[in-house]
Amino acid sequence: MDYTFTIIVPVFNEEANLIRLEKELISYLNNTSVKTKVLFVNDCSTDNSQSMIESICHTNVAFDYLLFSDNKGLSAALKAGFDHIDTPLIGYIDADLQTSPDDFNLLLEYIEDYDLVTGVRIDRQDSLIKKLSSKIANRIRRVFTNDGMQDTGCPLKVIRTDYAKRIPMFKGLHRFLPAMILLQKGTVKQVPVNHFPRLAGTSKFGLRKRLLSPLTDCFAYLWMKRKTIDYTIKKKSF
């Protein structure tokens, strides 16, 4: 069966959300604008997530999974997804369902004209501390990257696979996906999407990860930007 779009779902200890996640993803797959499948990337969960993921994949032909042998973090989960996907388009959504799979259709409307389409969470349903720390982190990243992104932390994105596979991933790079597409001379579009409160499970990112890690990662991004090789072939004999 030929698919056009693969949704990557990183998972770490999300057993409380997986039943609802399966229902929402199946609902989206039945109403998607393109032929879509799902790839769970289990970052070595210590709860019952893996057995639930295997049950979901056994029941639904459009669902597959990868299981890490060690906990490696969100950027590694996305990298693994990029490496194993063979569809022309890649999507990304968190397992906590604070964003809706249905909004992928909003992003897909623009992917013909852009190389990455990213959501911007409107009316965020988070605590004041979480919203404030994200706002500060986004401001720091904009200063360093000049990418113009309002909400790089939004876990709802659609990327052209050929661009995604060329991203040189490092820890923390999930915060810089738009900037890394722009480094490839790609184009980026921001689209407002819905946001919902977390109904189950716990956030994996505390205040330190939201503020200190983005700051140190910005220096890694600047190093990579200076070292990026960029060339154009004018003529060739084959």
Beta pairing class for 156-160 and 116-121? antiparallel
Least confident of 14-18, 29-33, 71-75, 224-228: 224-228
Is 233 within a domain? no
Quote the percentage of the chain above a pLDDT of 90.
Answer: 56
Spatial CA neighbour of 117 closest among 187, 51, 165? 187
Helix (H, G, I), strand (E, B) or coil at 208: helix
The amino acid occupying position 204 is K
Task: Judge whether 206 lies within some domain.
Answer: yes
In a domain, 30, yes or no: yes
Residue 200's pLDDT band (boundaries 50, 70, 90)?
A: confident
Question: How many structural domains are present in the chain?
Answer: 1
232 in a structural domain = no
Q: 234 lies in a domain? A: no
* Domain CATH number, residue 168: 3.90.550.10
Q: List the 89-93 sheet strands across, edge first.
A: 63-67, 36-42, 5-11, 89-93, 156-160, 116-121, 188-193
Q: What is the mean pLDDT of residues 19-45?
A: 96
Q: Mean pLDDT lowest for which of 87-96, 125-134, 172-181, 194-203?
A: 125-134
H-helix segments, 70-228: 74-84, 104-108, 128-145, 161-164, 177-183, 207-227
Three-state SS at 77: helix
Query: How confident is the prediction for the chain on average, in pLDDT?
Result: 85
- pLDDT classification of 188: cutoffs 50, 70, 90: very high
Return the ∠ at Cα 124 (arms to 121 and 129), rounded to 5°. Answer: 125
* Residues 26, 60: Cα–Cα separation, whole Å: 9
Beta bridge partners of 11: 42
Domain that holds residue 112: 5-227
Asked if residue 16 is part of any domain, the answer here is: yes
The answer as to whether 159 is a domain residue is yes
pLDDT tens for 59-83 read: 999 999 999 999 999 989 999 999 9
Cα dihedral angle (45, 46, 51, 52), rounded to 10 degrees? -70
